[in-house]
Amino acid sequence: MKIKHIAIALMLTGMMGLGSCTKFLEEEPRSNEKFEAFFKTREQAESNVNALYRRGAPSRYGVAPSAYLGPTASIPSMLTGYFTNSYEGQELVCLYSKQLTRQQNTRVVSNTMNTIWDQSYQAINIANAGIMYIPNIAMPDEGVKNRLIAESKFFRAFNYFYLVKTFGDIPLPTEPYVDLTKDFFLERQPKAAVYALIEKDLKEAVEALPANTFSANGKRITKYVAAMALANVYLQQGKFADAAQYSKIVLQSGHRLTQNDDLAANSAYNKLRTTDNLEESIYAYEFDATISNGGWWPTYGFNGSATAVFDKYSIFERVYGPTDNFLNVYAADDLRIKPNQFFHWEYKNPNTGKVWKSEQAGIWYYVEENALLNTGRATKDWNIYRYSEALLIAAESLVKAGNAVTSEAAGYLAQIKARANTKGKTVAQFTTELQALSATAFVEEVWKERLRELPLEFKMWDDCLRTGKFPVISTTQKGSVTFVNLVGAKNGFGATFKESDLLWPISMDELQRNPKLEQNPEYQKN
């Protein structure tokens, strides 16, 4: 999929994205006929579906529009107290998240929630229109029609998945807003109903989309992207047999784990940092130097002192900085904690010889050197789903579903551990060791590896929610993690989790617009 096509589509869908029973009121009212006119031809359908790649939930992970605040998906990890924003005096949503004081600061937090709510429902509205109107478009190739419908279903599901994890019960429109005589102020529907629609959409997408890797498919959604999302959805709900089934579809695809050529610049983690279209990448947010560049991503790898070292960017902030306590999640022999793998503490500008040093870890995984040194434009795609996550989902789900550690499950987890090991231990050796664990100990070992493998892709809070557990990382023993009940636990900042901390507040703007909505418990209503 070409980004230039997406840019055109965004202009078109800006006229039709009426979603979330919010912006609809601000738009010039349009008739059914005019709305439907945006889906009269194959070209219109493709343009509007293309726009879904850049709207709503995918942009929560991939877009870095601010020098001071990272992608919106990074903010929930602040709740753990293991990550901080060095500019949280201004970006108060990060401060209040770390302090677990969002309830009494709802109005400030609500600004971010309003963006998430509006943009996700705008994307859902476009997807709903595609699902409704594309079947009626005459196309010589029915395969193209079926693909566009399946992509619409994927993006509807992906946006609903993000919303339901964030807010809990939510409105569940399944048709586009096209008729002003209908009531577009909707009540919140139970999470179970939302998940049922998500599962249905993704199952149908898995069946209809091409069995190809993301990069080989022109960076369009594939069968394996949909299967990965569905495995994630099932894992989040604790439906482990289903999660295992769909994660194994991904594991049996053309995707595979990136391997180390060495334990330095040519490690798997550096390849993931620098290289697009790896077979490990299941789904990524695409960037381009001229039409849609990566924004401030490269600056997130440093702190403010880096302004003296580089001249292509004017601002550097640790918008998502790991605490020293979090870094203790890694044992000393873990490759991921070695300098210039996931993290770094020093960088020498090869053009000028100027050196950046910091006692606080910067995130090397975010550093795009060509942008920092030469162009000032980031182009590295941002991975949303990787093969390593599919391995971890399969390992956990197989053991949870069968309450036993099988060689298959152990082998999946062993691949993650072996790649990160610096002592030469093989997959076979790790597999043998892991098979000796109890089912409970094995699952906790998977949770630890998720903390170590996926912390920079914003999966940590989802794991806390689905497991009901909080990872207590030792301050003295590297690699040591225990798990305690989430509610009542102290986060890394020392604040205590309450039941109401498990959900974010409904946007206060949205509460004013839609009288049928009720605020989540303990948050301010007005």
pLDDT per residue as tens digits for the range 451-479 = 999 999 999 999 999 999 999 999 999 99
Residues 209-221 have pLDDT tens digits of 999 999 999 999 9
Indicate whether 70 belongs to any domain. no
* Residue 181: per-residue pLDDT: 57
Cβ pair 226, 202 in contact under 8 A: yes
> Domain of 186?
1-65+92-208+501-526
* Residue 14: per-residue pLDDT: 39
Indicate if 370 and 518 belong to the same structural domain.
no
Indicate if 279 and 421 belong to the same structural domain.
yes
Residues 267-321 have pLDDT tens digits of 999 999 999 999 999 999 999 999 999 999 999 999 999 999 999 999 999 999 9
Indicate if 413 and 509 belong to the same structural domain.
no
Q: Which of 455, 473, 488 is the last residue of a domain?
A: 455
Distance CA 318, CA 344 (A): 12
Indicate if 163 and 34 belong to the same structural domain.
yes
Task: Give how many domains the chain has, as a whole number.
Answer: 2
Domain harbouring 407, CATH code: 1.25.40.390
Residue linked to tokens 């999660």:
243
Distance CA 518, CA 502 (A): 16
Q: In the structure, what pLDDT confidence band is assigned to residue 177 with cuts at 50, 70 and 90?
A: confident
Indicate whether 460 belongs to any domain. no
For 446-481, b/e burial (b = at least 16 CB within 10 A) is: bbbbbbbbbbbbbbbbbbbbebebbbbbeeeeebeb
* pTM attached to this predicted model: 0.94
Measured from the Cβ of residue 352, the count of other Cβ atoms closer than 10 Å reads: 11
Percentage of residues of the chain with pLDDT beyond 70: 92
340: left (phi over 0), alpha (psi -120 to 50) or beta: left
- What is the CB-side half-sphere exposure of residue 124 using CA atoms within 13 A? 29
Which region among 97-101, 338-342, 448-452, 510-514 has the lowest average model confidence (pLDDT)? 510-514
Indicate whether 522 belongs to any domain. yes
Per the DSSP assignment, residues forming a β-bridge with 284 are 383
Give start and end residues of each alpha helix (H) in 100-184.
106-133, 142-167
Measured from the Cβ of residue 423, the count of other Cβ atoms closer than 10 Å reads: 6
Indicate whether 413 belongs to any domain. yes
Report, in angstroms and rounded to the nearest whole number, the Rg of the chain calculated over CA atoms: 23
DSSP secondary structure code for residue 344 in this structure: E
The DSSP string of 190-240 is: -HHHHHHHHHHHHHHHHHHS-SS-TTTTTT---HHHHHHHHHHHHHHHT-H
Q: Which of 421, 436, 455 is the last residue of a domain?
A: 455
